[in-house]
Amino acid sequence: MQADLQTIHSSQTYVGQQHRVLRNTYALLGLSMIPTVIGALLGTMFGVSLMVASPMITMVLFLAVSWGLIFAIEKNRNSGLGVVLLLGFTFFMGLMLGPLLAYTLHFRNGGQLIAMAAGGTGAIFFTLAGIASTGKRDFSKMGTFLLAGAILILVAAIANAFLHLPALAMAISLVAIVVFSGFILFDIDRIVKGGETSYVSATLAVYLDVYNIFISLLQLLGVFGGDRD
């Protein structure tokens, strides 16, 4: 009887920890949108000239700073410093988003396109997060496929920085939406099933999923729905 009570207590503690990580992840994800928006506003005003003048330097800067911050966040994933670094990272990602927003705003319906991309991203996230949160399906086996897809996207994006092929850019955006939608299922599933115990790391992963879906949707909407007249 004593052993049974201890087992029940341990199970309740484990489930409680999972729910706490998921709850804190959602809260920190919401908080991370504030520095992202601030960074995007600044990037829209000041970041366009750098990207136009030297796109390759911009890409190298983006990769170096973002990967450096990701490494630092993971090293401090269980401390308050990790939260601070994560918020700094989301501010930087907002800055990098600025030129795309500025380009989109040159369309007559640019504001509408941005709103549609944000709404579409939110719909994708809440739908897939809801599916993964039920815990009725196992999405853990998707990891290898999704990692391969992410590497393919990165390689193609770097190549297209030299090639400037519109068709390839659209293909990258379409694949990115599929791959990072899959990552939402994978990452939320890991949290729910106890595979991720740090809400800082969990937030970082989910934030990157949402960020990549948003920019991919916005790029596609700009191509197919941008009004230049």
Structural domain containing residue 122:
2-225
What pLDDT sits at residue 11? 45
Mean pLDDT of 48-65: 72
Max distance between CA atoms of the chain, in angstroms, equals 76
| pTM passes above 0.85 | yes
Q: What is the pLDDT of residues 130-139, one digit of tens each?
A: 999 886 788 9
Contact 208, 97 (CB under 8 A): no
CA distance 90 to 190: 22
Mean pLDDT of 53-57: 65
The count of other CB atoms within 10 Å of the CB of residue 108 is 12
CA distance 140 to 107: 41
Closest CA to 83 of 206, 204, 209: 204
**Higher local confidence (pLDDT), 158 or 220:** 220
What pLDDT sits at residue 158? 87
Burial 166-179 (b: 16+ CB within 10 A, else e): eeebeebbebbbeb
Mean pLDDT of 65-77: 96
Mean pLDDT of 71-79: 96
Confidence of residue 55 (pLDDT cuts 50, 70, 90): low
Q: What is the pLDDT of residues 14-49, one digit of tens each?
A: 455 778 999 999 999 999 999 999 999 999 887 655
Closest CA to 14 of 195, 156, 202, 215: 195
12: pLDDT strictly greater than 70: no
What pLDDT sits at residue 229? 60
What pLDDT sits at residue 161? 80
Percent of the chain whose predicted confidence (pLDDT) is above 90 = 68
1: pLDDT strictly greater than 60: no
List, in order, residues 6 or more apart from 137 with CB less than 8 Å away: 131, 189
What pLDDT sits at residue 9? 40
Instruction: Provide the domain count of the chain.
Output: 1
Q: What is the pLDDT of residues 152-194, one digit of tens each?
A: 999 999 888 888 899 999 999 999 999 999 999 999 999 998 8
Block residue for tokens 């994978």: 186
